């Protein structure tokens, strides 16, 4: 390896950040050793602090599994467990951040409250009304009709359509993604953004700093804005400091055009999502396009995040779409409800929507997810549904992107299989789609994984569909993809050595922290 190549590796952002965090850890250890002469007093001080940390954890309104995952290491390692929790556990915000987030909530309510009309679903029964009303109340996101939707079973399929829609933009283009990576996908989008910006179209870009840690240089937003003139910013700058605030990431995926057309799903702006950069076999993802009234709700979601990260005020009325595209009429009589989940409001909207759908299912629940790191509540709901005769099927990857997380996903198989849940692994590669379809009536397509981070720590989004024709497209995609999958049996899980099963049991307990 030549010096130039070695230097390029050593000066990568992730390497520098890793070294700085390692130095902080060593500094904490050195401090403890420095005061080793007072070991007796330090030990009891640490014990007291650990007990206080445990009491704080127990008193908080969070998932029980998340509490247990923190309590065990704190009690096992009282010398530093409490400190790690203080720095990395929970969702504590500064006073300034809290005020900004409260402002986001007020703005969402103000801009969308005129659209709230959950009762229009009454013809479909109380379950539909209650679901829509819950999301309206706790996510501030209304349910809409007059909205055409189109489902895309692969990133390869949505890519050309997204480019065509971007070319049609007349007023504005808003992009918000967890990952942006230079390549065919992003470079194609940038060319259109430059053309549209030069033509006077309002273009804005948000990306997550951790999501793009390995794909973009540290000052990419500033350089991009200087080179193109397009406003660009990152969410929650990743700093080489052990900090609780690094937990919360912007995992949402939005491509919004003129307030009347929007895309979301599992697709990020990187080439592996359109199978132009093979990484873990074939990349199975999904996306949904929304045209009509519901796209405005997604536009408000973006703009409130823009206000949060840029610390500016937005004139929402000036950005409302003057007219809906002709396709919107095709969605008359069907119901579409985009929603977002904020990890800082103590309301797990993403998990609750999934729980509601699972518990109300009468015939089947089909789920696609890249990670299966579920809470006790979700595990119980899935098992109860299967035991009640509901056909519950879950699809996960066969080729993992993260080996440890893959083992953690598999650690949840055994109790589900025992209850009658059917599990399938996608043998051609990696499933990154985040879909749920229920009883030919409801479907969810979005960014929300079946894991703790998506449910409790990340900013997320999804689209809930009720009696929309696209529901059947989501179902057909699941069944056609299932043919390419390997069914997992309980016997296969029981064949593993006791060492591996013990390891998986430990992973399950610690899963909420991974």
Structure tokens at 23: 């130095």
How much is the pLDDT for 6? 47
Q: What is the pLDDT of residues 106-143, one digit of tens each?
A: 888 889 987 887 888 887 888 999 999 999 999 999 99
What contacts 167, CB < 8 A, 6 or more positions away? 192
- Which CATH fold would you assign to the domain 95-337? Endonuclease; Chain A (3.30.870)
pLDDT of residue 113: 84
Chain segment 184-207, per-residue pLDDT in tens: 999 999 999 999 999 999 999 999
Comparing 436 with 240, the larger pLDDT belongs to: 436
Give the closest residue to 297 by CA, choosing from 74, 461, 497, 183: 461
Is residue 53 over pLDDT 90? no
List Cα–Cα distances, 365 to 150, 269, 394, 475, in angstroms: 21, 29, 8, 10
Convert the pLDDT of each residue in 302-321 to its tens digit.
999 999 999 899 999 999 99
Paired residues of 175 in beta bridges: 205, 255
Put the strands of the sheet holding 442-446 in their side by side order. 335-341, 460-466, 442-446, 435-438, 364-368, 391-397, 422-426, 485-488
Q: Considering the chain, what is the average pLDDT of its residues?
A: 87
- For residue 450, what pLDDT is reported? 95
Rounded CA separation 383/315 (Å): 47
* pLDDT tens readout for residues 358-408: 999 999 999 999 999 998 999 999 999 999 999 999 999 999 998 899 999
Nearest to 70 by CA among 55, 83, 57: 57
pLDDT digit string (tens) for 268-289? 999 999 999 999 999 999 999 9
CB 335 within 8 A of CB 132: yes
Are the C-beta atoms of 104 and 71 separated by less than 8 Å?
no
SS in 3 state form for 3-20? HHHHHHHHCCHHHHHHHH
pLDDT tens-digit series, residues 455-490: 988 999 999 999 999 999 999 999 999 999 999 999
Q: Looking at the predicted structure, is the pLDDT value of residue 167 above 50?
A: yes
Q: Do domains 95-337 and 349-513 have the same CATH topology?
A: yes
CA angle at residue 236 from 235 to 237, to 5 degrees?
105
Which residues have CB under 8 Å from 435's CB, separation 6+?
286, 366, 367, 368, 443, 444, 445, 474, 477, 478
Query: pLDDT grade, residue 42 (50/70/90)?
Result: low
The count of C-alpha atoms lying within 13 angstroms of the C-alpha of 133, restricted to the half-sphere facing its C-beta, is 10
The Cα-based distances of 388 to 181, 381, 384 in angstroms read 45, 11, 6
The more confidently predicted of residues 210 and 49 is 210
Give me the mean pLDDT over the 281-303 stretch.
Answer: 97
- Pair 180, 187: CB distance under 8 Å: no
Q: Give the containing element (helix H, strand E) for 327.
A: none
Residues, the chain:
514
Distance from chain centroid for Cα 123: 32
163-198 as b/e: b if 16+ CB within 10 A: eebbeebebbbbbbbbbbbebebbebbbebbeebbe
Which of 26-35, 66-75, 463-472: highest mean pLDDT? 463-472
CA pair distance 135, 340, nearest whole angstrom: 9
Q: Tell me, what's the pLDDT at 117?
A: 79
State whether CATH 3.50.50.60 applies to domain 349-513.
no
The conformational region for residue 9 under phi > 0 = left, psi -120 to 50 = alpha, else beta, is alpha
Helices assigned H by DSSP within 124-264: 126-138, 155-167, 184-198, 220-228
pLDDT tens digits, residue range 213-233? 889 988 899 999 999 999 999
> Read out DSSP for 328-341?
GGGGTT-EEEEEEE
Give the pLDDT confidence score for residue 300 in this predicted structure: 97
Of the candidate ranges 111-115, 240-244, 252-256, 288-292, the one whose mean pLDDT is the lowest: 240-244
The percentage of the chain sitting over the pLDDT mark of 70, rounded to a whole number, equals 86
Reported as a pLDDT band with limits 50, 70 and 90, residue 36 is low
Q: For residue 208, what are its two tokens?
A: 């997550």
Given a cut of 60, whether residue 13 has pLDDT beyond it is no
Residue (of 441, 436, 256) closest to 350 by Cα position? 436
User: 425: which strand partners?
Assistant: 396, 486
pLDDT at 356 over 90: yes
Q: What is the pLDDT of residue 21?
A: 56
Write down the pLDDT at residue 26: 65
Helix (H, G, I), strand (E, B) or coil at 366: strand
Residue with more model confidence, 6 or 318: 318
Does the pLDDT value for residue 83 go beyond 80? Answer: no
Which of 394, 161, 401 minimizes the C-alpha distance to 274?
A: 161
Q: Is the confidence at residue 55, as pLDDT, over 50?
A: yes
**Closest among 426, 421, 400 to 480, alpha carbons compared:** 426
Using pLDDT thresholds of 50, 70 and 90, give the confidence band for residue 430. very high
Q: Is residue 151 scored above 70 in pLDDT?
A: yes
More confident residue, 239 or 344: 344
Tell me, what's the pLDDT at 233? 95
Residue ranges per domain, the chain?
Answer: 3-88, 95-337, 349-513
The 10s digit of each residue's pLDDT in 88-113 is: 665 555 666 777 777 888 888 889 98
Does residue 166 register a pLDDT over 90?
yes
pTM, full prediction: 0.89
Distance CA 210, CA 234 (A): 9
More confident of the two residues 239 and 356: 356
């Amino acid at each position: 390896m030549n010096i130039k190549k070695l230097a390029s590796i050593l000066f990568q952002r992730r390497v520098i950040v890793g070294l700085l965090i390692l130095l902080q850890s060593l500094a904490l250890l050195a401090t403890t050793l420095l005061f080793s002469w007072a070991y007796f007093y330090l030990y009891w001080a640490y014990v007291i602090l650990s007990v206080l940390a445990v009491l704080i954890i127990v008193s908080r309104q969070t998932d029980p599994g998340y509490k247990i995952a923190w309590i065990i290491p704190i009690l096992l390692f009282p010398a530093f467990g409490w400190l790690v929790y203080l720095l990395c556990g929970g969702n504590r915000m500064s006073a300034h951040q809290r005020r900004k987030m409260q402002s986001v909530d007020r703005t969402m309510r103000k801009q969308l409250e005129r659209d709230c009309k959950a009762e229009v679903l009454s013809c479909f029964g109380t379950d539909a009304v209650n679901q829509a009303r819950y999301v309206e109340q706790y996510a501030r996101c209304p349910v809409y009709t007059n909205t055409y939707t189109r489902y895309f079973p692969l990133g390869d399929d949505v890519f050309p359509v997204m480019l065509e829609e971007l070319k049609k933009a007349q007023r504005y283009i808003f992009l918000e993604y967890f990952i942006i990576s230079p390549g065919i996908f992003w470079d194609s989008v940038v060319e259109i953004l430059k053309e549209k910006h030069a033509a006077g179209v309002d273009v804005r870009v948000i990306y997550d700093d951790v999501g793009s840690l390995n794909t973009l240089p540290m000052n990419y937003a500033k350089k991009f804005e200087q080179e193109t003139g397009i406003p660009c910013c990152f969410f929650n700058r990743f700093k080489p400091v052990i900090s609780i605030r690094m937990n919360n990431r912007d995992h949402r995926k939005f491509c919004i055009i003129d307030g009347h057309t929007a895309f979301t799903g599992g697709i990020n702006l990187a080439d592996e999502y359109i199978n132009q950069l093979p990484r873990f076999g074939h990349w199975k993802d999904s996306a949904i396009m929304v045209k009509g009234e519901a796209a405005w709700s997604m536009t408000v979601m973006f703009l409130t995040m823009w206000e949060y990260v840029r610390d500016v005020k937005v004139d929402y009325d000036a950005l409302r779409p003057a007219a809906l595209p002709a396709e919107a009429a095709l969605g008359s009589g069907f119901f579409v409800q985009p929603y977002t989940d904020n990890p800082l409001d103590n309301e797990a909207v993403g998990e609750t929507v999934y729980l509601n759908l699972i518990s109300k299912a009468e015939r089947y629940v089909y789920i696609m997810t890249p990670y299966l790191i579920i809470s006790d509540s979700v595990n119980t709901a899935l098992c109860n549904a299967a035991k009640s005769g509901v056909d519950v099927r879950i699809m996960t990857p066969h080729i993992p992107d993260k080996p440890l997380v893959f083992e953690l996903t598999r650690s949840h198989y055994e109790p589900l299989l025992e209850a009658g849940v059917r599990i399938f692994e996608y043998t051609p590669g990696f499933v990154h789609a985040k879909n749920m379809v229920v009883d030919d009536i409801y479907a969810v397509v979005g960014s929300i994984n079946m894991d703790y981070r998506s449910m409790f720590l990340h900013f997320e989004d999804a689209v809930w569909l009720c009696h929309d024709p696209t529901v059947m497209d989501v179902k057909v995609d699941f069944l056609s993809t299932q043919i390419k999958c390997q069914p997992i049996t309980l016997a296969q899980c029981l064949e593993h050595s006791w060492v591996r099963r013990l390891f998986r049991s430990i992973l399950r307990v610690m899963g909420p922290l991974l």
